Structure 1
Amino acid sequence: MAVKKVSLACTICGTRNYMIAKKADRTVRLEVKKFCKICGKHTLHKESM
């Protein structure tokens, strides 16, 4: 069985920079501060479908 993946989208510019494995026990969307290559700084990234 393949692992389902979701992407993390930057809240400022909207680009999807990171891919993560989806866990079944996670009920709320993940929010992490990551570096955005487009913005050039650390911004909040939210889990998107």
Structure 2
Amino acid sequence: MAREYVWLECTESGMRNYRVQKEMRGTERLELMKYCPKLRRHTLHKESRKK
């Protein structure tokens, strides 16, 4: 069970607001509605790898 940390990046502001663990084997990219502090509302956050 290989797990890795990935960032969730806001699609509207581009900020990386959340870091979550994800199982890497056979999973799709995460897309979640999360709170963006810059915009002060819930927006779509997509998975972004470490840079």
Q: Structures share a fold, TM > 0.5?
A: yes
Unaligned runs of 5+ in 2: none
Q: Is the 8 A contact 2:4 2:24 kept in 1?
A: no
Which 5+ residue runs of structure 1 have no aligned equivalent? Answer: none
RMSD: 1.3
- Aligned residue-pair number: 47
What residue number does 1:15 align with? 15
TM-score, length of structure 1 as denominator length: 0.84
Moved over 4 A (4+): none
Give TM-score, length-normalised by structure 2: 0.81
